[in-house]
Amino acid sequence: MTRQTVKRWGIFFFLLAIALTFWFAPLVRAEDSQDIFMPLVPNDPSLTPTLTPTPTLTPTRTATPSTPPKQNWLAYVNWFRGLAGVPAVNDDAILNNNCWEHARYMGENLHLTHVQDPAKPYASAAGQVCAQNGNVWLGWGTGWQSYQPIDGWMGSTGHRLWLLYPTTPTFGFGFYQSANTTKGAGGALDVLSRANFNADEAYTGWPIRYPASNQVNVPPSRYPITLFWRYFGPAPTVTSTNLVTSGGVSLSHSVTTSLAAAHKGVELIPTSNLPTGTRITVTINGTYNGAPFNATWSFTTAASADAQEFAPALVEPPVEAPKEVP
């Protein structure tokens, strides 16, 4: 039996174990030899945000840059945020170091977690700060690149919504690849330490849609289509949805407003891979905060399935996060 065959069988049994985990733990999804966790923000029942009517939704035309800056994590994150029409973030050296420490902990210990085991090598108080405040990722083996955790988070609704959250000004990121072929790579993105939920009600760009209006090279897969509002607001109610190609073919899909990490929005998942090289129009009708809305926009899928490398992921939220401050 060749080494490659052994590796393939190893991945198969790993995925089987994860699939069983997913069956009993709905916040975890098995897709590949990468694992990802994301944050949950516990709501404060003592806080009652002021609710305002939702205006008619008019998509903003966006243009997709031809070459995403994959080798610079901050530029790559802001590339996605630019597509979605939300402000760019900056980074923080302390948060970056915290996340690098947690990424190293995960890669060296093959331990995907939001709670480090202090008995394990590379556990640290700094790493734990990132662990409990961010999206985290684990890749098994070697050869991983720093952009792959970001691709994975963008392909997973709960992670994506934190990465695109429009009022967060600052992130921290860390990536680590072990030189030991029996270990792995870790990635972590602190999305909550600098979150500014108090700015949400004044933000005028809600809801955020992704893939964005007029975006191109969208992965022709069962890529999530999302529309979301502020975290500490009401949940929308959906009355109808539609996915249709430029040729008039309706695409089967699922729809839910029960989003991971208690986000407020709508998720559409195509039943089958989206067709390649095709313009697709999304329509979502419903009510938000007592007012009707209609969101209609279009995007175009990539010409081939391997046109972009969007890494699959396993998902779960962190154990703790900041509460909304009155």
Q: 293 φ, ψ to 5°?
A: -140, 155
| Inter-CA distances, 166 with 45, 171, 221, Å | 23, 12, 26
| pLDDT for res 36 | 59
| pLDDT for res 305 | 79
| pLDDT for res 1 | 52
| pLDDT for res 78 | 97
Q: 291 φ, ψ to 5°?
A: -115, 140
State the amino acid at position 136 in one-letter form.
V
Residues in the chain where the model's pLDDT stays below 50: 2-32, 40-64, 307-326
| pLDDT for res 263 | 97
User: Residue 178 and residue 198: Cα distance in Å, rounded?
Assistant: 39
pLDDT in tens, 151-174: 999 999 999 999 999 999 999 999
| pLDDT for res 139 | 95
Alpha-helix runs per DSSP H in the chain: 3-24, 73-84, 93-109, 125-131, 147-154, 157-163
| pLDDT for res 240 | 98
pLDDT in tens, 191-216: 999 999 999 999 999 999 999 999 99
**Percent of the chain topping pLDDT 90:** 72
